[in-house]
Structure 1
């Protein structure tokens, strides 16, 4: 019943909210909806494209959803290439959205074009540079490792006060995957020695998500990360981490967070956080059911 409720919530948000909240709900359903909603999502976003396909910024989200929801390879490539066309045109105002979406789709423009990518030794990198380097990480394992090193270097810059750029670096590390032991230890050291309280919740979440199997989280850091669920400003970082590394014992904990964030009567109700909580809970339930099925076959 809880699984059904999460799916119903995501479908409701998909149908009743607009623009990027709609995009996020659609992606959550594609990723954890067990394939039952993909066709409806494709039809819905084809209509969105008819209405908003010329609207800068949001059009990138529409095409990103369609690149995932399309039922054919040619369809997926068609929508991804529309995003690519925006990225390679220096006159487009939403190029940064395009390159971020290409990276999320695990695609690098280097596969089709000879483009100038940022030098990872540059001292000051923009968000656009970081997203471009992220897309480059999909070329090879070596490029992925270089990208992780770059993001850790950005986070380590004590002279930089640009938390927006550092937050992007932290976010990118989560998507690339598990770090090497040395990379993870460097990230952990940054957290233990940094006094940047604004960035700390994001770094804690990233530390948990990127942890190699050979290493362990300190109890104090684990406890601090779990406490993020009690503050609305930080709960998204808790959800991101627990969705990746959580297990059956965490379902009740996430359920409590979900019940708080899904209260539409609350004065500070946020449909995007509601969608994220429903997705995280659904993800943990699906993971638990999958493990149960695997055990039953053994």
Structure 2
């Protein structure tokens, strides 16, 4: 994960803590009943969220601010929706599309504002992951642009102070495009699969799955919808949730979770 020039590190408390902007995508599809989402289980060796089941996503890179083909709501619209400056919002949207592509192979881009989303060859995705090619180069060469209309703003959580590194994570929702398949393609995870929120909560209760508080809140959101169409039509106001250390235990302590403000 790299720092974004539009989202500089911040000093918090007596020591300097680096705040890194990140984008996470709740990829969803219809199930019977309700909806299901694609999740990854992070490998035990990870420095952050080891062994946790999470949504695809990662940090914003400086290259995510590069000019790139774009269809759908512009940076100004996204800035208002996310509560960020347009340049930062643009980087977050690009990061969401890039991270989803790198980790699952699902591409939210196309040759225009309508029509099917193409499937790119595996070697192109590998070149982006290995930084031998940038996403904007790949899309430009293929005559494609980001489809920001395929994303929905959902939430923004800032992790607690006192951990050295903090993450200012923006959650997006997106439907799996027709003709595409989500797979576990990142070395940072050892499992990737489609799951219903209720299944994940049952596994957590049985001690077989570990979920971070923001993931649990997002899954509870998803569980409230009967279809992807219903979810994507939901109006959202994104307000930054500033998690305090004392909030974490409360958030994890059972069904009576209250989102801190």
Q: TM-score, normalised by structure 2?
A: 0.27
> Which structure shows the higher helix fraction?
1
> Which structure shows the higher strand fraction?
2
RCO higher in structure (CA 8 A, sep ≥6): 2
* Larger Rg, first or second structure (1 or 2): 1
